[in-house]
Amino acid sequence: MFGNLSDRLVETFKNLRSKGKLTASDIDATLREIRRALLEADVALEVVKNFIAAVRERALGDEVSKALNPAQQVVQIVQEELVTILGGSQRQLQFAKNPPTVIMLAGLQGSGKTTLAGKLAKWLKDQNQTPLLVACDLQRPNAVNQLQVIGERVGVPVFAPEEGNGKGNPVAVAKDAIKFAKQKQYSVVLIDTAGRLGIDEEMMQQAKDIRKATEPDEVLFVIDSMIGQDAVNVAKAFEDGVGIDGVVLTKLDGDARGGAALSVAQVTGKPIIFASTGEGVDAFEPFYPDRMASRILDMGDILTLIEQAQKSFDEAEAKAMAEKMAKDAFTLEDFLEQMQQLRKMGSLKSMLGMMPGAGKLKSQLENFDEKEIDRTEAIILSMTPKERKDPKILNGSRRLRIAKGSGMTVTDVNGLVNRFEQAAKIMKTMAKGGNPGIPGMPQGMGAMPRPQAKKDKNKKKAKSGNPAKRAAEISGIQLPKDEGSGSAFGL
Amino acid sequence: MFWRKKSKEDGSPQVQEVELPKRNLTKSIKSIFSRIKFDLEDLGSLEDVLIQADFGVDAAEEIVQELTSIAKKQGLSTEADLKNALKDLLIAKISRTDSALNLDSDQSPNVILVVGVNGAGKTTTIGKLAHYLVSGGAKLTLGAADTFRAAAVEQLATWATRSNAELVGPRTEGQDPAAVAYEAVEAGISNQSDIVIIDTAGRLQNKQGLMDELGKIRRSIEKQAPINEVLLVLDATTGQNALSQAKAFTEVSNVTGIVLTKLDGSAKGGIVYAIQQQLDIPVKLIGVGEGIDDFGFFEPSEFVLGLLGESE
Ligand SMILES: Nc1nc2c(ncn2[C@@H]2O[C@H](COP(=O)(O)OP(=O)(O)OP(=O)(O)O)[C@@H](O)[C@H]2O)c(=O)[nH]1
Ligand SMILES: [Mg+2]
């Protein structure tokens, strides 16, 4: 049921392997799969439509056509746009200047308000606030009871003058609670209200009345992460009917993809402040837009996907390089570029130590001398463009000029030119042999470590700005500990 | 729905039909189909509407395809024809022969186990169903095997009072739910209840430990009496995750029927289509409010007409 997106996208990307550029129809094919994934994650249709339109516009623009791997770039855009919508207006809970801060919870029946009230109370108490819980759900049988039990559990007093079960006026209770809190100097008043349907006008009016009577600093709309397409209607109804300041997403410990988060964020423009993640009083955390985006898109799979896309990209690039070789077009500029890529990887050395699963890679980098690259770079940069393109014209006086310009000796320059020629020869041979796994790094270079296939892959990732890692950063996910995955940087 | 009402004088049973309160679902499932243009060349808007009703992309595509092929075969092209064909198609696909509650008035007691995720409407459904069955003359015992959630036992107790049913709850706080279920059935046998309904704590289907507990509850009930029905309560607002719920609950507790609650809201509950098709589990009851009479038996035609915005 889950995880189909990546398979389908990889399928889509396969067809793109041979092409360097994405056409509009390639992009549309990718977006069709993403649309489907979003719908399967319960993102509301109208939200999906707007979203896909926005992504499409960006995808047709420069950033994709210029990208090294356009297909992957599209996925990247999707991820970014998701995070933007989910976290566009992220913020903390607002506290009143003059206590008590009043927080009102509102939402559908069964969305998890009462449980959340308890968690929020505990959380506030842990922050040295003095919260007061208020039992304004006088509708559902024993909701008042439930709040009392929870209050006792978390050590927070409960204002519950009415027994509920259909008796009592919640507006009056709310009003009295504020008075009581002021008198007793509670710093936060947390009002639990009855679950209500967005289309139940009478009950929505009641919620509005509670709001009017208590002037909350925060009206938190509590919504079940399992909700389907109706999320948009419900969110609109509560936004129009009561007015909401923030959203709490509940039951995120379940396996629903939680597309409703996107629907609600989009439709109301209100920040999702908390995630409720279990039945225990501590199962409660701030909302992380990046994690949610990953969840909606099924990020674990997206990572695999990016890796696969990367692989196809590497192959394509290697092929292009091989063609260049075969045509004898490998220049000192290419050589330098490859060196510089290696350096990027070298500077990652220290960072790698902090990442799980990178041990192997790190040891490979251990005997890698960054200074060698500095020297090579200095020499090549002292050449004229013409010399870089055609090293054959490098006569004695040119070599002397270059040595002076780069602060090296002529022997150094000679050594470099020799290594380059050797490398070019090797690569040309390999290219003719049609070896698709041709390493991008010339072999037989003095201080350079012998490049290995695995490392070569890493180098390419570094070159492309390592989108997998970037995606992981964006998503806030934990890097898996699986060292055998063969992917770079433990991803 | 029939229930055999026990005659007071000579103890001989007599059959009495209990009318379910009439529920006009056509009103509650507000039509979203009214804005569709039915055009054989472009049924995209139909697909959209089905998706918006939580049928899911696959089911929506499948229905559009089937409608197209029916229309071609039968040469239908007018909007009215197409709409009619859709109605017939949906009713045919949703209708089943096994959607009645599997209760036997010769059996004592009949046992119903009620399961579902948190907040789906299990306890409320039990309250309504108990009231309905009691007013049909049956003797009911309710087992409060949700020993976990705060005040869950009290909530069921309130419903037991409202519906004139016996209540068996935990003897100690947080008692093993399987033991409570066992004792409820035991009590039901000794107090000669016709039906015992066991309420369970809400649990998310990906929590293996809690799901295993359900299996345990089931087995401990079966030590005393066979289970007639395992009802999975689904909130109609639930999206595609309902399918995952139905799969997981069926695996551990062998679900025999679905209760679709909160159909009085703006959600359409289209996911039950996929559940019936893919998992072959019938929808049996619906919930349409928080009141004691706010439920009914699932009527495919009523459900479909409600979706289409037509009344019979
Ligand atoms: N509008 C509406 N609300 C309902 C319906 N059925 C239940 N509810 C409400 O939904 C909320 C949850 O119902 P419960 O019966 O407590 O649900 P539950 O599955 O027993 O919940 P837990 O035991 O906490 O997992 C309550 O506020 C009920 O009043 C329905 O058909 N329509
Ligand atoms: Mg319950």
pLDDT digits (tens, 9 = 90+) for A114-139: 999 999 999 999 999 999 999 999 99
Q: Are A458 and A272 in contact (CB under 8 A)?
A: no
Distance CA A458, CA A488 (A): 5
Query: What do you get for the CA distance between the two ends of chain B, in Å?
Result: 21
* CA–CA dist A363, B108 (Å, integer): 73
CA B159–ligand 2 middle distance (angstroms): 11
Q: Are residues A286 and A174 in the same domain?
A: yes
User: Is the separation of the CB atoms in B139 and B193 below 8 Å?
Assistant: yes
Query: Mean pLDDT across the stretch B285-305?
Result: 89
Residue A333 lies in a domain: yes
What whole-number distance in Å separates Cα of residue B141 and Cα of residue B168? Answer: 7
The CATH number covering residue A31 comes to 1.20.120.140
Q: Which ligand 1 atom is nearest residue B203's CA?
A: 25
pLDDT above 80 for A468: no
Instruction: Measure the CA–CA gap between B290 and A109, rounded to whole angstroms.
Output: 9
Q: What is the mean pLDDT of chain B?
A: 87
Task: Inspect the interface and report whether the beta carbons of B150 and A112 lie closer than 8 Å.
Answer: no
Look at chain A and report how many structural domains it folds into.
Answer: 3
Q: What is the mean pLDDT of residues A361-384?
A: 70
| Average pLDDT, rounded, for chain A | 76
Quote the CA–CA distance of A296 and B179 in Å, as a whole number: 40
Structure-token pair, residue A292: 């949610």
Quickly state the pLDDT bin for A225 (edges 50, 70, 90): very high
CATH number of the structural domain spanning residue A387: 1.10.260.30
User: Same domain, yes or no, for A70 and A118?
Assistant: no
Q: Tokens 């959600």 appear where?
A: B267
Which residues make beta-bridge pairs with B235? Answer: B261
The number of residues in chain B equals 312
A251 is in which domain, residue-wise?
A: 101-294
Cα–Cα distances (Å) from A149 to A83, A133, B96, in that order, read 38, 11, 44
Same domain, residue pair A252 and A133: yes
- The answer on A322 and A280 residing in a single domain is no
Same domain, A117 and A230: yes
Last residue of a domain, one of A401, A431, A461: A431
pLDDT digits 0-9 by tens, A166-190: 889 999 999 999 999 999 999 999 9
User: How far, in Å, CA of B78 to CA of B205, rounded?
Assistant: 45
Neighbours of ion ligand 2 (CB under 5 A): B 122-123
Q: Which of B23, B123, B129, B159 to mutate to test the pocket of ligand 1 (most atoms within 8 A of CB)?
A: B123
Q: Are residues A270 and A159 in the same domain?
A: yes
Cα three-residue angle A87-A89-A92, rounded to 5 degrees = 95
Distance A362 CA to ligand 1 centre (A): 56
Task: Count interface pairs A-B at CB distance under 8 A.
Answer: 140
Structural domain contains residue A362: yes
CATH number at residue A274: 3.40.50.300
Q: What is the DSSP letter of A391?
A: G
Q: Tokens for B300, please give them.
A: 């495919």
The domain boundary, picked from A294, A323, A341, lies at A294
A359 and A245 both lie in a single domain: no
Q: CB burial class (10 A; 0-12, 13-18, 19+) of residue B100?
A: middle
Angstroms from A491 CA to nearest CA on chain B: 26
pLDDT for residue A69:
66
Residues in chain A: 491
Domain C-terminal end among A390, A415, A431 = A431
Is residue A44 pLDDT above 60, yes or no?
A: yes
Whether A329 and A237 map to the same domain: the answer is no
**pLDDT tens digits along B80-130:** 888 889 999 999 999 999 988 988 877 889 999 999 999 999 999 999 999
The answer on A324 and A281 residing in a single domain is no
Comparing CA positions, the residue from A410, A447, A445 lying closest to residue A425 is A445
Smallest-distance ligand from the CA of A165: 1
pTM for the full predicted model:
0.75
Query: Which tokens in the block code for residue A273?
Result: 């402040």
Please tell me whether residue A431 adopts helix, strand or coil conformation: helix
In a domain, A23, yes or no: yes
| 8 A C-beta contact, residue B40 and residue B82 | yes
| A416 and A371 both lie in a single domain | yes
Show the DSSP H helices in B113-222 as ranges. 122-135, 152-163, 177-190, 208-222
Residue percentage of chain A with pLDDT more than 70:
66
A76-95: pLDDT as tens digits? 788 888 888 888 766 889 99
A279 interaction partners in chain B (CB closer than 8 Å) = 118, 148-149
Of A162 and A476, the structure prediction assigns the larger pLDDT to A162
Mean per-residue pLDDT, A371-397? 84
The beta strands (E) that lie in chain B are given as 2-6, 13-17, 110-116, 140-145, 166-168, 195-200, 229-235, 257-261, 283-287, 295-297
Of A39, A109, A149, the CB nearest to B262: A109
Whether residue B123 has its Cβ less than 6 Å from ligand 1: yes
pLDDT tens, B37-62?
677 777 888 899 899 999 999 999 99
CB of A261 less than 8 A from some CB of B: no
Host H or E run for residue A248: strand A246-250
Label residue A476 left, alpha or beta by phi (over 0 means left) and psi (-120 to 50 means alpha).
left
Contact flag A110-B206 (C-beta cutoff 8 Å): no
User: How far is the CA of A66 from the CAs of A8, A63, A71, A463, A464, in angstroms?
Assistant: 24, 5, 11, 14, 12
Task: Establish if A440 belongs to a structural domain.
Answer: no
**pLDDT at A344 (0 to 100):** 55
Residue A35: both structure tokens together: 């649309």
Q: Tell me, what's the pLDDT at A284?
A: 87
Measured between CB atoms, which of B57, B117, B152 is closest to A39?
A: B57
Chosen from A224, A232, A276 to mutate, greatest number of chain B CBs within 10 A: A224
pLDDT-based confidence at B31, cuts 50/70/90?
A: low
